[in-house]
Structure 1
Amino acid sequence: MTIDAAKNSHRLFVRDALAAIARPDDAVFSKDPPDQHQCAFGRWYDGDGRQHFGQLPAFGALEGVHARMHQVATAIYAALHTRNREEAIRQGGELMRLEPEMLGKLDALVTAIHEDHG
């Protein structure tokens, strides 16, 4: 997985979660969203990414925000499932706050990789 692919994957993840809030009856999340280990980025992060870049502080810096994004998406789904749209909207705001943080940390990882591999 490339960093650009990871960024696109998380943009789609956020888009889908926000779309579920906007159109809760469309069932964008027909099942629970994946946790941070099940998504494509999470599998890369836990496997090849950790093997190749785990020594970089910028790599470790991704873990918390990535996990939080998935926790928030799960909270959105749970709120929609119980018809608590107000909570889903609140959680959607949190997800929108986390998205640029995640993307920024991915950019920082790219920089760190280039510096490490000079």
Structure 2
Amino acid sequence: MTLKSDEIEETLDILRRARSAHIRWRSYAHGLVNGVPVSEDKLPVHHTECAFGRWYYGEGQQRLGDLAIFQDLEGPHEMLHGIYARIHEAVQNGKKGKARRLFEELQAVSRDLVDQLDLLEQQIRRGQL
């Protein structure tokens, strides 16, 4: 697929918003681990229901779904939601040490996901769609 320069910029803008949504979501998990009250709508949800997931399975899939690097985002993203659910459960059960260890795991997977998003952005910039 070949995109015009304005389509590339629009796609990059949408990708950046998806990345920001993921980083905000990660901060909710961090708050939860640190005892900060997290509103019900920020608690773990299914990986298709968060802002990043809605982008990934919606517009992202339509625009970038044929790219292997895009497809590679799905596994880590789904894994993050599983870890967040385990963090939530640990916090609810008063197991803060376990929650902190799980958050470290979540951060590592999140860094990998953000690195993949950076590679995807580079690929889009080079017009390799």
TM-score, normalised to structure 1's length? 0.87
Note the C-alpha offset of 1:85: 1.0
Q: Aligned partners of 1:19 and 1:4: how far apart in 2?
A: 23
Deviations 1:53-93 (A, max 9, x none): 11101100100111111111111101111111121011011
Identity %: 29
Gapped runs of 5+ residues in structure 2? Answer: 1-12
Q: Aligned partners of 1:100 and 1:21: how far apart in 2?
A: 18
Q: Aligned partners of 1:110 and 1:28: how far apart in 2?
A: 31
- Determine the structure 2 residue equivalent to 1:88: 99
Gapped runs of 5+ residues in structure 1? Answer: none
- Determine the structure 2 residue equivalent to 1:101: 112
Structure 1 runs of 4+ off > 6 angstroms?
none
Given candidates 17, 25, 32, the residue that maps to 1:20 is 32
Coordinate RMSD, CA, aligned: 1.7
- Determine the structure 2 residue equivalent to 1:3: 15
Deviations 1:19-43 (A, max 9, x none): 11111xx431536412210011111
TM-score, normalised to structure 2's length? 0.80
Contact 1:73 1:95 in 2 (8 A): yes
Note the C-alpha offset of 1:6: 1.5
Distance 1:94 1:29, change over 3 A: farther
- Determine the structure 2 residue equivalent to 1:30: 40
